[in-house]
Amino acid sequence: MSPGVRALIALAIGSYLLFRTGPGALLCLFPGLLRQKAAPGDEHPPEMDPPPAAKLTPTLGTLGFVRLGVRRELFPLGASALSYDYFNAAEKTYASVYMADRTQPRLYFFTPYDGGASVLTADHKRPGAVNDGYYLAGGLVRAAPEQVWAAHKRQMTAMEDTGRDRVALGTLEDRIASARLWATGVGKREVRSRNLTALFSAAVAMLVIYVSLASLPFRHLAEAFVRR
């Protein structure tokens, strides 16, 4: 195999890797690029929810949560993910369900407070955070929704002991606004940490692309073209 062919293969691999990891790398550098928008209700009615996610609806109902709608998280370069959002009016708390893959739903409870503070408790692994009076977060891996909700309420009590007030309005628009505030505020560190691997991979991909381009025989090709 000639050096030129090897360089082209490496260039193709590096380009593919950069394409796959580029959105995560950008989020690691600029968490504010994570955007939110409401998904059209006629395109995402409750009966169209993925069955694994829909199975959580009755349980959330017994905990006092009603469905708000569907929120689309928009990542850089066009990728997106759907979040199925609920609200507990008595507790001024949101619940969100999203699909980790085709069969695995993930649930978390989110309570926004005044001043950009918040409490977040999930049924899966997340970076923990203990910043009294500003941010309390964590995950109970494979815990039942009732257990996660009980843990979340304990964290809410701890937050309110510092004098904070719950500020959720219970609309999909407010859920979108609070998600934006989280990504650029208390959640910025988490967005960066979970995309750190993507940033490293994108840097490696760019290095591979640079070396591949430097190895291509552009000078010889140019000389051959001129001779023609």
Together in a domain, 123 and 219: no
Together in a domain, 202 and 190: no
Together in a domain, 50 and 133: yes
Together in a domain, 205 and 183: no
User: What's the pTM?
Assistant: 0.83
Mean pLDDT of the chain: 89
* Closest of 221, 171, 128 to residue 38, by C-alpha: 171
Helix axes 196-215, 3-29, angle to 10 degrees: 150
Per-residue tokens: 119: 């409490």
Strand order in the sheet with 66-74: 35-38, 66-74, 80-88, 93-99, 105-112, 118-122, 135-139, 129-131
Q: Give the structural domain span for 11.
A: 1-32+197-228
**Positions of E strands within 93-162:** 93-99, 105-112, 118-122, 129-131, 135-139
Task: Please report which confidence band the pLDDT of residue 149 belongs to, taking 50, 70 and 90 as the band edges.
Answer: very high
pLDDT at residue 164 greater than cutoff 80: yes
Together in a domain, 204 and 163: no
Together in a domain, 77 and 133: yes
Higher pLDDT: 19 or 88? It is 88
pLDDT at 222: 45
Task: Please report which confidence band the pLDDT of residue 84 belongs to, taking 50, 70 and 90 as the band edges.
Answer: very high
CA–CA separation, 123 and 11 (whole Å):
40
The count of domains in the chain is 2
Report the SS3 class of residue 76: helix
* Closest of 94, 133, 85 to residue 112, by C-alpha: 94
Say if residues 22 and 76 touch (Cβ distance below 8 Å).
yes
Say if residues 53 and 99 touch (Cβ distance below 8 Å).
yes
Q: How many other CB atoms are found less than 10 A from the CB of residue 137?
A: 22
Together in a domain, 139 and 189: yes
